[in-house]
A and B are shown apart, each in its own frame.
Chain A
Amino acid sequence: MTEATLNTEDDSEDRNRRPPRAVVGSSLDREEEVFGKAYDPRIVRRIWAFVKPYRSQIYLSVAAVLAFTLTQLAFPLVIRYAIDNGMAQGGGGRSVLLWCIAGFAGLIAINFAASWVQETVVGKAAENVLFDMRRAMFAHLQRVSLSWMDKTEVGRLMSRLMGDVNSMQEFLETSVLSVGDIVLLFGIVGVLLWLDPLLGAITMATMPILFIVRLFWLPPAKVSFMAAHHTNSSANGALAEGINGVRTVQSLDRQQVNFDLYEEKARANLRAHLRAAKFAQVMVPIVDTLTGISMATVIVVGGQMVLGRQLDVGVMVAFLFYIQRFFDPIRSLTMQYSVFQRAMSSGTRIVEVLDVPVSIEDKPDAVALSRDMDGSVEFRNVTFGYRKNQPVLKNVSFRVNPGETVAIVGPTGSGKSSCMSLVHRFYDVWDGSVTVGGHDVRDVTQDSLGAEVAMVLQEPFLFTGSVIENIRYNKQSATREQVIDAARAVGAHDFIMSLADGYDTKLEQRGGNLSLGQRQLISFARALVADAKILVLDEATANIDSYTEMLIQKALKRLLEGRTGLVIAHRLATIRGADRIIVLQNGELLESGNHDQLMEKQGLYSRLYTMNYSSFDDLPENAEDMVATAVGKAT
């Protein structure tokens, strides 16, 4: 572990070869291939629950589709009637023709009304279902526990919220039409058989062939369509990652490596799409050939029959008409089938989101923390962890009395932030309990907990929007004056005023046009505006200089009057105002007491404290050993 070893060219290998471990795109992104069953009644039932509120519209539009299909079926029949009974010699002549035209006009009217009703009703209902579904997912995600969210990527959720929901729309809109297609198919079969059973049967002899061909075609075709879909999302995922991490990519000069990896993905995508296109198009000549065979059959067989006066010429014309439409429903039904498939896999993913268990939920008899609770916080034998069998906090107990300010210190990774997450019930403890204001956090409503415990998180997060919107956040009742007061208290007022539009300046994504310390100040101000009984500061001033910090502390003294404070800090000067200090190490409570008591104890705290102020040069000889004991296990 010396400079020499870190820096020698011990790996002067061929840098042109493919980097062995580089990837682009998320490693979580191995999107489970939801090939699934073609038909999963459970999923259908869940989706139906969203359609149900609009079922009267659906029934109406199915009726309209039926009417529409029937008119489609009837048009050739009218034409046939006009030819055979109107125009042919010895037919009814003009009056029949006029009647036919009148009938035709009637059908047109019905056709128009039906198609209008069907498309409007279904179109709107589908949009409604879609938005309902998305809202339900989003609302559900607001309740899902953070432990699940930690493991899930935003991009992936977004693709479910947008992409999968959209592919449900395609399905909903066309599924009503497929009812019409089925009716049309059977209708044509029926009409052909009715017009002339023999000719009908011969003509339709090609139909089973198509079915059989489709049967063989479908499985590989489906795989190729899915592959195209997957390579698409994989390439898009890599693109999104490239955009989000662009600063890191540039500063580590990784562009070329990433580009090569991305190129691989793009090429795979190209190949998959070409393959899918082949599969899609190969059906065209087959269908056309079969149509050709059927038409040829009608011409030869039907033509002979017409010649032999066994068949009216109008029937032959009608046959030719029907044949051209004959394959349409089959084609669109198989298309429907792949839409259906896609919708099923999208549906599965949507239902997956809706089914994420809400492990942290208000009890039915949960009480709301009231304004005038005492503001105490107590940990009783708390054990907690993120991964099974790996506790992060072990049997931690402490109490923060009303109005007290308590500091939590400890080496990095010792579990300080985790403690704070528990106060807010981001996670549930494995064992023991956390009480706030005398109530177990599991017995109070999360809303009231949120209103009474304000937090400054270790990682400041700002929303796109103006400064004032960010500070006010969900405290809509906060006046502009209150916002400005809070900003003044944290020393952010001056720099905010120096921005182009002061408090109304729009922040870029995640507050990117501010310095990190400035972002932290705004997120601090947000917690002050929330005006809660308990204030939790998780390294709230880590990126702020001591002078500004001191000013904040002075202001806080006034603001925190009668409130409880929990402060985490590494800079021990930050916590000098604390009533009590709790030292955590490796998830265990090591010592607690006020500054003087702890210094006297000569424990971890006093060591950390002295180290904070020792300068680089007077580092004790055995510094490494000393720190190793202090930090060793914890890191």
Chain B
Amino acid sequence: MSHVIAAQAGKGLSTLWRIMVLTWRHPWMVIITILSCFISSALQLWTPVLLGQAVDRAEGVLDGGVGAADALWTIAMILLVVSILRGLFTMSMNYFGEAVGHHTAYELRLAVYEKIQRLSFSYHDKVHTGDLITVGMLDLEGVRMFFATGLLRVILLGTLIGVGAYMLISTDWVLGLLALSFAPFVAVNSSITQLRLRATWLTLQEMLQNLSRVMEENLGGIRVVRAFAGGRHEMHKYNEASDAALELAHERVNIRVNSTSLMNVSFFISMGLVLWYGGERVMAGQMTVGTLAAFLTFMTILQMPVRQLGLLVNSFARASTCGNRLFAFLDLDVEIKDEPGAKPLKLGEGTLRFENVDFAYPSAPFRPVLSGISFEARKGETIGIVGRPGSGKSTIAHLIPRFYDVTGGRVTIDGQDVRALTLASLRQAVAVVQQDSFLFTTNIENNIAYGDPWAKEARIARASEFAQLHNYIIGLPTGYETIVGERGVSLSGGQRQRLNIARSLMLRPAVMVFDDSTAAVDAGTEQRIRTAMKRFARDRVTLIISHRLSSLMHADQILFIDEGRVVERGTHEELLALGGRYRALYDLQVKPGDDQLEAAE
């Protein structure tokens, strides 16, 4: 699992160091890249020297022209070989430089994906999906590019500029200084510019994220938008986000252009100076035309790298911001994970117990959602839960498979605290039919078999029969191969819920929770599901959360929850006899009529 090691590599070091450590996980490629880099820049620096010699030979200034023709041939051949070698080494430098990045990206990608899958619900509650996508795509890209566009360029430019400057100055220091006079200016200018661009880039990225959030929510909630004829309102939101981003984009163009134009100018000015001063020297006979030509060629060679200094600064800045975010994400503590010494669940009787459970969501720690919930359910028993919206019913369901951890008390299965169990064994033993189901954009079969992709077709068909969905599916032209559309849009509300039930039936849980999962199903169909489930329930603990009392009146125990507390408990008959809130609810549902309304109050 190389990605796990990669994700941990260099933890605790500063961001850039950490990227280097990651890079060094591919030492051979790095070494080849750097060697190629040295060789190719040396070869590149040799070119102008050869050209200068050639010009001088041709002019016959050396040795009075004796043997000039042969010398030209020699120079030409050397030049050819140098060019070819330079090409080859540049290729190897670029290729391996990129390859290092891609290998690093591959490992990081896996690490990010795994982290996303492991981070607990409370994390996903507070982070917008768009932001996570940014981390997994853009930030990762910034880190990937660092070696090729940052680190490697430092070596390349350092060699080219350093050695080049030395060669120029040692040949003729005045001319050398003139030829290099543009470099510091350009370097400073472009660095400042890139830093400014970088700063605005972050703002721009935020604005674009905002813009895409507006678009994404609009498209995701398109039915609401249409239902309220909110097109104009949405365009208004869009324009607000878009105009701000456009303005900033224009500003960035200005920053960038001012700087590149100035860089060009400063380069050509120093070229003009070289020409002027060098021309004077040549006329005075203190210098050959070839040397002058070599100087000018050097300058063209240096022009690119000096300009790239800006990009280099950008790459460093980008790697450090992106890396900061990426590593912060990878280093996040997973709140809910296997505790040290966690054991797989050992199923015996299959008894579920809540012991004095308190809970508050991590995002609102001072708003208790559950207080002092206790109950016990044995194998074959059914617990019904009723209560107002927001009373904490789904929260109870979330605590059993440890989507969240209790803040007080404990939840046990067969006496084993769920926190002491391995997550995998726990979640296989607890199936929650979630209230708010998420279907994948794939076909019906894959959706049903999501929790058990090895399952045989017959079993899938049986699960969907149990959920009373089979007949509908085989009536479709493409049957089980039908794609359900994004989040199941091409299904009716009840069909989505039944698909969700079928999906959970594929597991073989010891505890099964139906969280309001037949709210959109008619009484008849629900009755059938219940009949099928009666046999299924014999082997496990079943929790049924529902607002429809007929769904849970047969339960062995019914809990009436209000504001996170059990306010009434007992069997249907006991609760009716109690004449409390459950009774009022029952009367409301069973005996329609205005007189009942008054009574309920």
Given contacts A26-B442, A120-B257, A303-B57, A539 and B231 within 8 Å (CB-CB): no
The reply to whether A86 and B283 form a contact with Cβ atoms under 8 Å apart is yes
CB<8 Å pairs between A and B, sample of 20: A26-B440, A111-B268, A123-B257, A146-B226, A236-B133, A240-B133, A243-B133, A247-B121, A252-B503, A303-B57, A450-B229, A451-B229, A508-B126, A526-B228, A547-B388, A547-B600, A550-B597, A609-B523, A616-B534, A619-B527
Report Cα–Cα, A251/B394, bound state, in Å: 14
Return the contact of A149 from the options B90, B99, B222, B508 (Cβ within 8 A).
B222
Report Cα–Cα, A410/B522, bound state, in Å: 7
Q: Mark B240-281, 1 if CB is under 8 A from A, else 0.
A: 001001100110011011101110110011011001100110
Which residues of chain A are near B196, meaning CB under 8 Å? none
The reply to whether B229 and A246 form a contact with Cβ atoms under 8 Å apart is no
Report Cα–Cα, A269/B260, bound state, in Å: 35
Determine, out of B107-115, B161-169, B308-316, B343-351, the stretch whose residues face the partner at the interface.
B107-115
Determine, out of A39-47, A94-102, A217-225, A336-344, the stretch whose residues face the partner at the interface.
A94-102
CB distance from A166 to the nearest CB of B (A): 9
B577 at the interface (CB under 8 A from A): no
Return the contact of B520 from the options A134, A458, A550, A607 (Cβ within 8 A).
A458
Which residues of chain B are near A500, meaning CB under 8 Å? 364, 367
Which residues of chain B are near A259, meaning CB under 8 Å? 110, 113-114, 117
Return the contact of A128 from the options B125, B246, B451 (Cβ within 8 A).
B246
Within 8 A of B (CB), among A579-635: 595, 607-609, 611-617, 619, 623-624, 627-628, 630-632, 635
A291 at the interface (CB under 8 A from B): yes
The reply to whether B525 and A539 form a contact with Cβ atoms under 8 Å apart is no
Sort chain B's interface into a size bin: 35 or more
The reply to whether A623 and B527 form a contact with Cβ atoms under 8 Å apart is yes
The reply to whether B389 and A123 form a contact with Cβ atoms under 8 Å apart is no
B170 at the interface (CB under 8 A from A): no
Q: Mark A274-302, 1 if CB is under 8 A from B, else 0.
A: 10011011101111110111011101101
Report Cα–Cα, A27/B486, bound state, in Å: 10
Determine, out of B16-24, B78-86, B186-194, the stretch whose residues face the partner at the interface.
B78-86
Which residues of chain A are near B88, meaning CB under 8 Å? 285
Within 8 A of A (CB), among B182-241: 208, 212-213, 215-235, 238-239
In order of increasing CB-CB distance, the 4 nearest A-B pairs are A450-B229, A517-B389, A292-B83, A412-B494
Closest to B59 in A: A313
Report Cα–Cα, A514/B391, bound state, in Å: 11
The reply to whether B389 and A101 form a contact with Cβ atoms under 8 Å apart is no
A370 at the interface (CB under 8 A from B): no
The reply to whether A257 and B390 form a contact with Cβ atoms under 8 Å apart is no
B485 at the interface (CB under 8 A from A): yes
Closest to A263 in B: B110
CB distance from A29 to the nearest CB of B (A): 8
CB distance from A18 to the nearest CB of B (A): 9
Given contacts A317-B289, A413-B495, A464-B128, A542 and B519 within 8 Å (CB-CB): yes
Closest to B43 in A: A288
CB distance from A145 to the nearest CB of B (A): 10
The reply to whether A21 and B212 form a contact with Cβ atoms under 8 Å apart is no
Which residues of chain B are near A149, meaning CB under 8 Å? 219, 222
A545 at the interface (CB under 8 A from B): yes
A10 at the interface (CB under 8 A from B): yes
CB distance from B451 to the nearest CB of A (A): 3
The reply to whether A320 and B84 form a contact with Cβ atoms under 8 Å apart is no
B420 at the interface (CB under 8 A from A): no
Q: Mark A244-278, 1 if CB is under 8 A from B, else 0.
A: 11111111111101110011001101100110011
Report Cα–Cα, A571/B585, bound state, in Å: 13
B434 at the interface (CB under 8 A from A): yes
Which residues of chain A are near B543, meaning CB under 8 Å? none
Report Cα–Cα, A161/B223, bound state, in Å: 20
CB distance from A238 to the nearest CB of B (A): 8
B332 at the interface (CB under 8 A from A): no
Closest to A494 in B: B390
A359 at the interface (CB under 8 A from B): no
Closest to B554 in A: A616
Given contacts A135-B242, A515-B394, A254 and B84 within 8 Å (CB-CB): no
Return the contact of B450 from the options A107, A248, A627 (Cβ within 8 A).
A248
A334 at the interface (CB under 8 A from B): no
Given contacts A277-B98, A545-B386, A246 and B117 within 8 Å (CB-CB): yes
Which residues of chain B are near A229, meaning CB under 8 Å? none
B106 at the interface (CB under 8 A from A): yes
Report Cα–Cα, A307/B485, bound state, in Å: 78
Within 8 A of B (CB), among A449-497: 449-451, 453-455, 457-459, 461, 463-464, 473-476, 495
A112 at the interface (CB under 8 A from B): yes
The reply to whether B217 and A245 form a contact with Cβ atoms under 8 Å apart is no
B132 at the interface (CB under 8 A from A): yes
The reply to whether B390 and A517 form a contact with Cβ atoms under 8 Å apart is yes
Which residues of chain B are near A274, meaning CB under 8 Å? 99, 102
Within 8 A of A (CB), among B311-360: none
Which residues of chain A are near B257, meaning CB under 8 Å? 115-116, 119-120, 123
* Interface residues of chain A: helix, strand, loop or mixed (majority): helix
The reply to whether A3 and B538 form a contact with Cβ atoms under 8 Å apart is yes
A548 at the interface (CB under 8 A from B): yes
Determine, out of B150-158, B173-181, B406-414, B462-470, the stretch whose residues face the partner at the interface.
B462-470
Which residues of chain B are near A302, meaning CB under 8 Å? 58
The reply to whether B233 and A258 form a contact with Cβ atoms under 8 Å apart is no
Name, among A150, A413, A617, the residue most crowded by chain B CB atoms within 10 Å (CB to CB). Answer: A413
Given contacts A10-B456, A27-B442, A573-B588, A426 and B539 within 8 Å (CB-CB): no
Which residues of chain B are near A547, meaning CB under 8 Å? 388, 581, 584-585, 588, 600
Return the contact of A424 from the options B226, B268, B363, B458 (Cβ within 8 A).
B226
The reply to whether B436 and A516 form a contact with Cβ atoms under 8 Å apart is yes
Name, among A146, A324, A570, A609, the residue most crowded by chain B CB atoms within 10 Å (CB to CB). Answer: A570
Given contacts A242-B117, A293-B80, 4 further A-B contacts (CB under 8 A): A86-B283, A287-B87, A413-B494, A550-B597
The reply to whether B547 and A608 form a contact with Cβ atoms under 8 Å apart is no
Report Cα–Cα, A259/B114, bound state, in Å: 7
Which residues of chain B are near A269, meaning CB under 8 Å? 106, 109
Closest to B75 in A: A299
Closest to B529 in A: A627
Within 8 A of B (CB), among A73-120: 75, 78-79, 82-83, 86-88, 93-94, 97, 100-101, 104-105, 107-108, 111-112, 115-116, 119-120
The reply to whether B446 and A23 form a contact with Cβ atoms under 8 Å apart is yes
Which residues of chain A are near B262, meaning CB under 8 Å? 112
A520 at the interface (CB under 8 A from B): yes
A162 at the interface (CB under 8 A from B): yes
Report Cα–Cα, A405/B549, bound state, in Å: 25
Q: Mark B535-560, 1 if CB is under 8 A from A, else 0.
A: 11011000000011110011000000
Given contacts A146-B226, A446-B229, A112 and B264 within 8 Å (CB-CB): yes
Report Cα–Cα, A617/B597, bound state, in Å: 28
Which residues of chain B are near A530, meaning CB under 8 Å? 228
Determine, out of A151-159, A186-194, A371-379, A434-442, the stretch whose residues face the partner at the interface.
A151-159
Return the contact of A284 from the options B58, B79, B94, B489 (Cβ within 8 A).
B94
The reply to whether B525 and A635 form a contact with Cβ atoms under 8 Å apart is yes
Closest to A253 in B: B427
B455 at the interface (CB under 8 A from A): yes
Report Cα–Cα, A362/B355, bound state, in Å: 61
Which residues of chain A are near B516, meaning CB under 8 Å? 516, 543
Return the contact of A295 from the options B79, B126, B432, B445 (Cβ within 8 A).
B79
The reply to whether B235 and A139 form a contact with Cβ atoms under 8 Å apart is yes
Given contacts A119-B253, A450-B230, A461-B224, A542 and B520 within 8 Å (CB-CB): yes
Report Cα–Cα, A2/B213, bound state, in Å: 47
B42 at the interface (CB under 8 A from A): no
B572 at the interface (CB under 8 A from A): yes
Which residues of chain A are near B60, meaning CB under 8 Å? 307
Name, among A119, A617, A628, the residue most crowded by chain B CB atoms within 10 Å (CB to CB). Answer: A119
Given contacts A284-B91, A547-B584, A19 and B454 within 8 Å (CB-CB): yes
